[in-house]
Chains A and B, each alone.
Chain A
């Protein structure tokens, strides 16, 4: 086991995949400056700085992917993906289908998201469900350094466009990563904690919040199961349904706003396929339908907190 941060885990995955496959390369706004180790090891043709122009970065990745490379692009902050929406959604996501399967788009788009740095709404916006809603794409949003490394490796090897969202607040968080860690398959959730009374489903930073809430609930004799989705598309429906069948209660927690968010999908999934198991209404704890504030206390209030999760579970348990 090695202890490393999420940022280092991403770099480690990049280094291993670039070593393994000469068609893997990375470019983006400052990647050659910030990932100097990669630049020194793999050279300036495979690690490139770009202009601050997200559209052409993503488009270049799509064109390169269609014709033999496996590009990884760093678009910095998730809201910047607005500038790259056409290239990611209309090109990378659709052109395989439109071409009748003639071309594939093995590319990875990296972006930071979420509260924690007080960077304000134009740098902090959880936009993952936009892309979950777009065909042809896969979406990954891990919570631990080991998962970042393993899922990045899978994302790079995948023949489809994969978006990897890195929660800003997790960037410098450290965790154990097995030395021999290999690719973690996309579309497999992790059960972070086993429990019998309620299922807490989350992803990214709020997985930790759910774990804290589960500790508190355990003190009150309530046994919460915590599921970390890791991949939002493909979604591990079986893991969710299996857990709800066992516990009969579900709280979905994420920082993105509620309307048409991932939580809505999971609630609908459980209503369709596990309704008979439910002993209480499904609850969602999410960020508000508001742009993210810069002010630290407001930004923290934006994100679902452990005490709110505890209160939600208590209400489901009948007070």
Chain B
């Protein structure tokens, strides 16, 4: 058995933590204690695979399904929950909510809820890396919905022309809010668009964290070597609805069932069990740690006070 630089057991635990975080949030929302949220359930492998391939110097811009990226980066689930609940100890003092969490200390510059907004800013973050001579690349996560926005073309084009160190990660989850991708684009994927703009790309099984890690590592090597941007397209699926709560009544049951069988957590766990790297006891230990982490996170968020009302008009201007 070869040793993979991304420890698959650790990757599984991180993916399970992301899943548990989002399930906690859905539960809190159901009990009226947190606002609704856009989850990344089913997309944990892409988040963990790509973010694990980044270094501390690299910066991240992401979109409204950002919990996976933040937690993969090492964000504290308690501070994230506090943010979504509008509490003072949230990453943004409760002013962001679930849709726009940024965390400067973790190099997360932006979570954009305007689809494609992250693509528009990524070029500037890449430019500052380049101009200021700082190490590190910029990872920009977006979905297939953003790839049908004009900003996608504008962003990749400028990044290519100016040779900006940007890893574009399209998490092609097949859904654009309430519209299936096949209603809005004829191409099977978006990697082909990149070629026309002079941007190299690769298409990866987005439900396999090890494949994502390998592809991201190769892409980052290419960016460091050539200075040029690179597009990684992760083929994956949004297993829950657009915005909680969402009964997914509009989703084709056969398609959903097909992808549920390919649930990245289920697949990795089965694989590790088959390879003899995890047994029932090992799984139980991970589940127990994740549960304890989320219980502590929830307690922290519950205990955090709401911001003072004077915060209403602070931080508007520098």
Residue of A nearest to B92 (CB): A100
Q: How far is the CA of A104 from the CA of B317 in the complex (A)?
A: 8
Contact check, A59 vs B96: say whether CB atoms are below 8 A apart: no
For residue B125, which residues in chain A have a CB less than 8 angstroms away from its CB?
63-64, 66-67
Given A23-B132, A67-B59, A103-B102, A55-B150 contact (CB < 8 Å): yes
Contact check, A61 vs B124: say whether CB atoms are below 8 A apart: yes
From residue B107, how far is it (CB to closest CB) to chain A in Å? 10
- B187-220 vs A, Cβ < 8 Å mask (1 yes, 0 no): 0000000000000000000000000000000000
Given A67-B125, A106-B318, A55-B131 contact (CB < 8 Å): no
Given A98-B95, A99-B102, A63-B127 contact (CB < 8 Å): yes
Given A51-B158, A63-B128, A96-B318, A103-B120 contact (CB < 8 Å): no
Q: How far is the CA of A102 from the CA of B117 in the complex (A)?
A: 18
- B275-318 vs A, Cβ < 8 Å mask (1 yes, 0 no): 00000000000000000000000000000000000000011111
Is A69 an interface residue when CB atoms closer than 8 A count as contact? yes
From residue B75, how far is it (CB to closest CB) to chain A in Å? 13
Is B234 an interface residue when CB atoms closer than 8 A count as contact? no
Is A97 an interface residue when CB atoms closer than 8 A count as contact? yes
Contact check, B109 vs A66: say whether CB atoms are below 8 A apart: yes
Contact check, A63 vs B132: say whether CB atoms are below 8 A apart: no
Q: Which of A4-12, A13-21, A85-93 contacts B (4 or more CB under 8 A)?
A: A85-93
The winner among B59, B90, B158 for most chain A CB atoms within 10 A is B158
Given A50-B158, A63-B109, A100-B120 contact (CB < 8 Å): no
* Total CB contacts across the A-B interface at under 8 A: 147
Given A56-B158, A86-B120, A45-B317 contact (CB < 8 Å): no
Given A96-B317, A103-B102, A159-B318, A60-B92 contact (CB < 8 Å): no
Is A101 an interface residue when CB atoms closer than 8 A count as contact? yes
Q: Tell me which residues from 299 to 315 in chain A have a Cβ below 8 Å from any Cβ of chain B.
A: none
Q: Tell me which residues from 150 to 183 in chain B have a Cβ below 8 Å from any Cβ of chain A.
A: 150-151, 154-155, 157-158, 161-162
Is B19 an interface residue when CB atoms closer than 8 A count as contact? no
Given A97-B95, A100-B95, A102-B104, A64-B124 contact (CB < 8 Å): yes
For residue A51, which residues in chain B have a CB less than 8 angstroms away from its CB?
154, 157-158, 161
Given A91-B117, A91-B120, A101-B314, A64-B158 contact (CB < 8 Å): no
For residue B126, which residues in chain A have a CB less than 8 angstroms away from its CB?
63
- B114-135 vs A, Cβ < 8 Å mask (1 yes, 0 no): 1001011111111111011010
Given A51-B157, A63-B127, A98-B100 contact (CB < 8 Å): yes
Contact of A60 among B59, B91, B93, B120 (CB under 8 A): B120
For residue B155, which residues in chain A have a CB less than 8 angstroms away from its CB?
56, 59
Is A160 an interface residue when CB atoms closer than 8 A count as contact? yes
Contact check, A59 vs B124: say whether CB atoms are below 8 A apart: yes
- A58-91 vs B, Cβ < 8 Å mask (1 yes, 0 no): 1111111111110100000000000000110011
For residue A63, which residues in chain B have a CB less than 8 angstroms away from its CB?
61, 109-110, 120-128
Smallest CB-CB A-B distances: 8 pairs: A63-B124, A59-B120, A100-B93, A63-B121, A159-B318, A64-B124, A100-B92, A56-B154
Of the A-B pairs whose beta carbons lie under 8 Å apart in the complex, a sample of 16, sorted by A's number, is: A50-B158, A51-B157, A59-B120, A59-B121, A60-B120, A66-B110, A66-B121, A66-B124, A68-B132, A68-B134, A69-B132, A91-B114, A91-B120, A100-B315, A104-B318, A136-B316
- Using a CB–CB cutoff of 8 Å, the interface residues on chain A facing chain B are 23, 25, 45-46, 48, 50-51, 53, 55-56, 58-69, 71, 86-87, 90-91, 95-106, 135-136, 138, 158-160
15 new A-B contacts, CB < 8 A, other than A100-B95, A101-B315, are A55-B150, A59-B124, A60-B158, A63-B109, A63-B110, A68-B134, A69-B132, A86-B114, A87-B121, A91-B120, A95-B110, A99-B100, A100-B91, A104-B318, A160-B317
